[in-house]
Amino acid sequence: MYWFKILLLLLSTLCSVTYLGFRAIYTLNAESVWAQCFSVIVLLAECHGVFLMLLYYWQIRDTTPAPIMPVLVGRTVDVFLPTYNEDIHLLRGSIQSYLAFDYPCKIYVLDDGNRSEV
């Protein structure tokens, strides 16, 4: 499956570079100075998009999961839960998920709203 993903990434890169080459050679408008400027700006925007796509491909080329590290004895975690007048049921779900951490944790609910029922 890894090689199939790499093949698709390479195929997409080849198609994108081929498109940019075709676009730069055959489709730039040279009728006036303004048309040339606009065509070059659009081409540079497309080059920027392909560059960002290649950076994304670089990030996802290897998706092997990180090794699971053992829990360190004696360590604790402080969790800050920022909220603004959130529903109590929503906060309860978040807090319960935080309590499922491997480390013992203290949870601080940072509510910036005007609430007195909590």
Who's near 111: CB < 8 A, 6+ residues apart? 83, 84, 85, 86, 118
Residue-level pLDDT at 50 = 97
User: Residue 9 corresponds to which tokens in the numbers above?
Assistant: 């990434």
Low-confidence ranges of the chain (pLDDT < 70): 114-118
Q: Distance (Å, rounded) from C-alpha 86 to C-alpha 91?
A: 7
Who's near 38: CB < 8 A, 6+ residues apart? 29
Number of continuous H segments (helices) and E segments (strands) in the chain: 3, 2
* pTM score over 0.85: no
Residue-level pLDDT at 114 = 67
